[in-house]
Structure 1
């Protein structure tokens, strides 16, 4: 049986928010569902979460839930009607207002924008589709010249490349959304526009304060985060290379270099890493991806990332199931060719980490079919994942449903929940019975086991080699 190593995250939206579509996405390869808090209300998001939980009650493999915060977004106000900006046009931007009745004035919701900007600075609208250069400051706003034109619409997202935005990393809306996620037992919080490790720590404290269990995924999407990426990775469970905003905030030719640097650092620190945005963007409108998109997905697989994420492709695209199926197909094919192997440089001082490293080295040497891990909190499985077995699939067994769902983000890891016995040997037999009954491995498969055993009156860590 071929097990895909790279996990797939799909954004749920109008194109996929029914139970049947969620079920179909899971069959197409989705491991984790993303709830995007930049759109929709808590009521509609709760309906999606309830449908996922309903699916999970009977699914052979559950779906984890990732809640993605909006973050400190700067947006234009509402317009009476759309209008076209042509190259060379001069328009005025004013701050603080919500609406504009003039086609020569654009309002934004960021009051400090006038103070922060100066002539020569760039303003990008709609992820760089429209670009404006500031030419003059006035008493009322910023006069800007249109460098790249387009259709101006209401509530468009704005980036200010190279400008330190004076907004809190976790906004009042984010706090409410995180509380919503904690209340509804989501598995991951993707924190938008993280700038420093302190932002991550603040989110973790909030989750702990309200007895949540979600793990924090830091989204790296501006130049300040790129500067602090090592510290951010160290503070997080994992990071997301959010290439949409990041590709606007930094010179676009630097984006592939930054992605590779972040992915490598996650491998060195043994942390999860997600590559997101524009993977199969053309499939929002078309039934097949471009050749460049296929190569982009392939590069993520070569880099041995934990997961890749679809956004508009599955949220609002015309071919959401085909997009997930195409991603699954590309990843499986590329994974057969091997990866870069950065994880070989990961080292841990933790005892469980040392056992995991030894187990993976043994599995690689024996070309074992599987590494079976027994883990209560998921830590041992995290370490095994971090060392990236070359050939073996990781089967993690836990007695916690929450831990099982979280391990769905781990590369090449397939988690199961079983009851643990006080006798480790009985627990191993239960796991082997699960592998056999579900036909996850053929009889005669060689397996490396990471488990404790009873030695006299003590339970001690062990690595074993067995045959199914």
Structure 2
């Protein structure tokens, strides 16, 4: 069974019920809603379709709401502007009425005060680069270093500049509250720069903080510098390589990705590698060999999830993209992975228990590790150990927990009505494995639980069981 989970961004190419069903069949575990596009009404329709689809699926699809964040963009244009290398243009930070036809307006009020002569502006994800030659209170004169066609509302990066924008904008706040009302499973907060950004989100979530899991998107140098503090505050990290690859030296991006993935593994947090995985497949039916290798590296690093963006929102081959990710991941996972159990043995008593269960399962060897859990915590601890051989089958009596475990590497989650008799609960779980998961009588499994106590009380335990006996 494939360990690496696939996240698909939903857009015009995939928002119908039929396409969502095909994405799920191809291997999608998490559906991402990009709040930079679409309305609450259109996203609500997608959520309802996924919730309806989940009633039929063997493994339900989790829903991740991705905030727009404090984005800086160029303004609306009546016509495209063709910028050639060496051109000198004006860049202003004011209303559209004040902009000359051949000027570039940026919607960041502090742009001119924050930028200095010699700094660079990067537009449209690095396709257009401008160097500041001089400035006054209203206008910056810039030289085009890398030219291109500038269209309306293109994304702007200010590499190395501490942007004076709120961590959670008014739009983000509205979008998050909308997501909470729709019972989403994950919130991905964009442009997280420091741990305090996450504290603000926790305050907004209020009493729902324990129900919705938080993913921090790392997209600039400041977020990289503060990564340890940020990881401690969240359930997971998204290595958002689009903006991050513009904000940092691009040749350092692979090292940053690997470092973040390993830090998350050691701290027991989920990690997603995102952006440009199969970018060429937006237009072409086959990925480039470099893209295949890029995906393979994320799987070698043992990321929990790999994410598609434009490939599944507006691409011509969204289903093929998911199928290709699944094929690459399955192929790479045949090789032995990393080991984390020894590094985790002193961090937490329940983590120690999980590490012991993984060692036992691999030494037998067992066919699977069976986790009985209410809130998913013990399944998280087992995931953190990155078991190489057995898959992890988690059984919970909570539907939201089951969906959220869809992001956990190597975890396959099941809904199960718990009994006050622990043995009856286990027998129900074993029946599911025998009847639905292709297990056979006589297969050995290692059972670990924090939810097998009588009348809902927790009881930590490890058992070796033989199915059918």
**TM-score, structure 1 as length reference:** 0.96
**Residue matched to 1:130:** 128
Secondary structure (helix, strand or coil) at the match of 2:369 reads strand
Alignment map for 1:309-348 (pairs within 5 Å) = 309-342=307-340, 344-348=342-346
Q: Alpha-carbon deviations, 1:104-138, whole Å to 9, x = none?
A: 21111100001000110010001000000011102
**Residue matched to 1:78:** 76
Task: Give the whole-Å Cα distance in 1 for the aligned partners of 2:258 and 2:209.
Answer: 35
Q: CA RMSD in A?
A: 1.6
Task: Give the whole-Å Cα distance in 2 for the aligned partners of 1:354 and 1:263.
Answer: 21
Q: Alpha-carbon deviations, 1:180-211, whole Å to 9, x = none?
A: 11110110000000011111122122112457
Q: Which moved more, 1:70-79 or 1:52-61?
A: 52-61
**Residue matched to 1:284:** 282
**Residue matched to 2:141:** 143
Secondary structure (helix, strand or coil) at the match of 2:55 reads helix
Secondary structure (helix, strand or coil) at the match of 2:85 reads coil
* Counterpart among 60, 63, 68 of residue 61 in structure 2: 63
Q: Alpha-carbon deviations, 1:379-411, whole Å to 9, x = none?
A: 000000000111010000000000000101100
Task: Give the whole-Å Cα distance in 1 for the aligned partners of 2:55 and 2:98.
Answer: 49
**Residue matched to 2:355:** 357
How far is 1:40 from its partner?
Answer: 1.1
How far is 1:169 from its partner?
Answer: 1.1
Q: Alpha-carbon deviations, 1:405-439, whole Å to 9, x = none?
A: 01011000000111111111110000001111213
Q: 1:210 to 1:435 in 2, by over 3 A?
A: closer
Secondary structure (helix, strand or coil) at the match of 2:145 reads strand
Task: Give the whole-Å Cα distance in 2 for the aligned partners of 1:243 and 1:347.
Answer: 32
Task: Give the whole-Å Cα distance in 1 for the aligned partners of 2:345 and 2:120.
Answer: 43
Q: 1:142 to 1:302 in 2, by over 3 A?
A: same
Task: Give the whole-Å Cα distance in 2 for the aligned partners of 1:210 and 1:454.
Answer: 26
**Residue matched to 1:32:** 30
Q: 1:119 to 1:154 in 2, by over 3 A?
A: same
Residues matched between the structures, number? 464
How far is 1:325 from its partner?
Answer: 0.3
Task: Give the whole-Å Cα distance in 2 for the aligned partners of 1:99 and 1:405.
Answer: 48
Q: 1:79 to 1:287 in 2, by over 3 A?
A: same
Alignment map for 1:18-57 (pairs within 5 Å) = 18-57=16-55
Task: Give the whole-Å Cα distance in 1 for the aligned partners of 2:204 and 2:84.
Answer: 46
Contact 1:76 1:98 (8 Å CA) reproduced: no
Secondary structure (helix, strand or coil) at the match of 1:58 reads coil
Alignment map for 1:85-124 (pairs within 5 Å) = 85-98=83-96, 102-124=100-122
4+ residue runs over 6 A deviation: none
Structure 2 residue 384 is matched with structure 1 residue 374: no
Task: Give the whole-Å Cα distance in 1 for the aligned partners of 2:414 and 2:126.
Answer: 43
Secondary structure (helix, strand or coil) at the match of 1:434 reads helix
**Residue matched to 2:175:** 177
Task: Give the whole-Å Cα distance in 1 for the aligned partners of 2:127 and 2:458.
Answer: 61
Contact 2:240 2:274 (8 Å CA) reproduced: yes
Alignment map for 1:150-189 (pairs within 5 Å) = 150-189=148-187
Q: 1:165 to 1:454 in 2, by over 3 A?
A: closer
Contact 1:407 1:415 (8 Å CA) reproduced: yes
Q: 1:315 to 1:206 in 2, by over 3 A?
A: same
Q: 1:292 to 1:343 in 2, by over 3 A?
A: farther
Q: Alpha-carbon deviations, 1:286-333, whole Å to 9, x = none?
A: 001000110011111111110000000001101000000000000000
Contact 2:341 2:355 (8 Å CA) reproduced: no
* Counterpart among 197, 205, 208 of residue 206 in structure 2: 208
**Residue matched to 1:7:** 5
Task: Give the whole-Å Cα distance in 2 for the aligned partners of 1:425 and 1:460.
Answer: 13
Task: Give the whole-Å Cα distance in 1 for the aligned partners of 2:79 and 2:187.
Answer: 36
Q: Which moved more, 1:212-221 or 1:120-129?
A: 212-221
**Residue matched to 1:307:** 305
Q: 1:212 to 1:46 in 2, by over 3 A?
A: farther
Secondary structure (helix, strand or coil) at the match of 2:215 reads strand
Contact 1:268 1:343 (8 Å CA) reproduced: no
Structure 2 residue 458 is matched with structure 1 residue 464: no
Secondary structure (helix, strand or coil) at the match of 1:444 reads coil
How far is 1:245 from its partner?
Answer: 0.2
Secondary structure (helix, strand or coil) at the match of 1:298 reads helix
Alignment map for 1:176-255 (pairs within 5 Å) = 176-209=174-207, 213-255=211-253
Task: Give the whole-Å Cα distance in 1 for the aligned partners of 2:4 and 2:434.
Answer: 24
Q: 1:40 to 1:348 in 2, by over 3 A?
A: farther
Contact 1:71 1:192 (8 Å CA) reproduced: yes
Q: 1:346 to 1:340 in 2, by over 3 A?
A: same
Contact 1:187 1:214 (8 Å CA) reproduced: yes
Unaligned runs of 5+ in 1: none
* Counterpart among 379, 393, 415 of residue 417 in structure 1: 415
Task: Give the whole-Å Cα distance in 2 for the aligned partners of 1:343 and 1:134.
Answer: 51
Secondary structure (helix, strand or coil) at the match of 1:317 reads coil
How far is 1:355 from its partner?
Answer: 1.2
Contact 1:11 1:35 (8 Å CA) reproduced: yes
Task: Give the whole-Å Cα distance in 1 for the aligned partners of 2:80 and 2:98.
Answer: 11
Task: Give the whole-Å Cα distance in 2 for the aligned partners of 1:289 and 1:208.
Answer: 43
Q: Alpha-carbon deviations, 1:76-109, whole Å to 9, x = none?
A: 1100011210001111111132467644211111
**Residue matched to 2:388:** 390
